Amino acid sequence: MSDVYAEPATGAHPTDPATLAPYTTLRLGGAANRLETATSAEEIVRKVQEAESRDEPVLVLAGGSNVVIGDQGFAGTVVLIRSRGFRVVAEDADTVTVRVEAGEPWDDLVAATVERGWSGLECLSGVPGSAGATPIQNVGAYGQEVAETIVGVEAYDRTHGTVVRIDAADCGFAYRGSIFKYSDRWVVLTVDFRLARSPLSGPVRYAELARALGVEVGDRVPLADARATVLRLRAGKGMVLDADDPDTWSVGSFFTNPVLEREAYELLRERAADLGEPPAWPGAGDVVKVSAAWLIDKAGFGKGYAGPEGVAISSKHTLALTNRSGTARTAALVALAREIRDGVHDRFGVTLHPEPVLINCII
């Protein structure tokens, strides 16, 4: 399921009710043959099954914050996920497990957990999209990933026509990935999160967040302080959706941070010797994760770099590609993404890979 909001993007007014642009935060995408809305897990399954019975391709769309849809749209049925709510399904003295409907707006859930004194999601404040999309992408920000708190996912298995519960260990969580990403087999229906009963955040792992909070890495802070600071940092980078700010008309980070084997990393260091040390973080085994934003900027694509038809790199964040005009075609955004990818490869020998799901378009 793509990462989408419950309602059309504010300010978007489609002339064709099947146009998909209003259902994506990029405000891009052509028409679907058919649009269906599902407001419960049972209805999601039924709508998908009905489309399959018509031998139609199916695209499941929740909030549109992590999807790029081509100008030709989608030649099939798009099921809009609009299920809502969460409930406690298990608890003890130290933890609480909540089952969240796939269409629940993510930041609403984070706000509710912070208010209740449940720790584990606070650093993911302000991330756009739906709860059901978070395991697909293994959403992460400011030192937290949902893989750390997810204990299970309920999904419709289109291959076998059954609803199954998948334990976290079987979800294949990886950096910005899972078994659900790039697969048509699974339709996420609900997600279970196990959270700590604590008024304090988890240990602050992200140096930028620690500095903004005035604490050391590893310290804990009140949940509300962590949430407010993350929201402020994200807003300063154009990463909190705002109908009046074209810098937020994006899918957030467009490229993932490259993960390089040690030999490839050393080659990068040689090619970047005149620019200083590339920001990097050691990973499991002998791999290194490198800052995609640094590579993009040093390859000559700074904040505000403009492409065709009013698409541009955000003026606030190098990793965000924006439809600033609100009237561009997906082809224009794709052209800018290719220019950046090719420029980074030419300069540093590193290939960037897109983070969002691409529907009928190729970078």
Catalytic site positions: 176, 253, 355
CB of 69 closer than 8 Å to CB of 361 = yes
Q: Tell me the chain's radius of gyration from C-alpha atoms.
A: 20
Q: Residue 242 pairs with which residues in a beta bridge?
A: none
Give me the DSSP letters along 1-50.
Answer: -EEB-SSPPTT---SSTTBSGGGSTT----BEEEEEEE-SHHHHHHHHHH
Place of tokens 């309602």: 7
Residue 327 to residues 26, 193, 209, 281, Cα–Cα distance (Å): 10, 39, 35, 38
Which residues sit opposite 130 in a β-bridge?
A: 105
The helix/strand count (H/E) of the chain reads as 8, 19
H or E, element range at 114: helix 106-115
The separation between the first and the last C-alpha atoms of the chain, rounded to the nearest angstrom, is 20
DSSP-based three-state secondary structure for 246: helix
Q: Which residues are within 8 A (CB) of 182 and not within 5 positions of it... i.e. 6 or more apart?
A: 357
Q: Are 336 and 321 in contact (CB under 8 A)?
A: yes
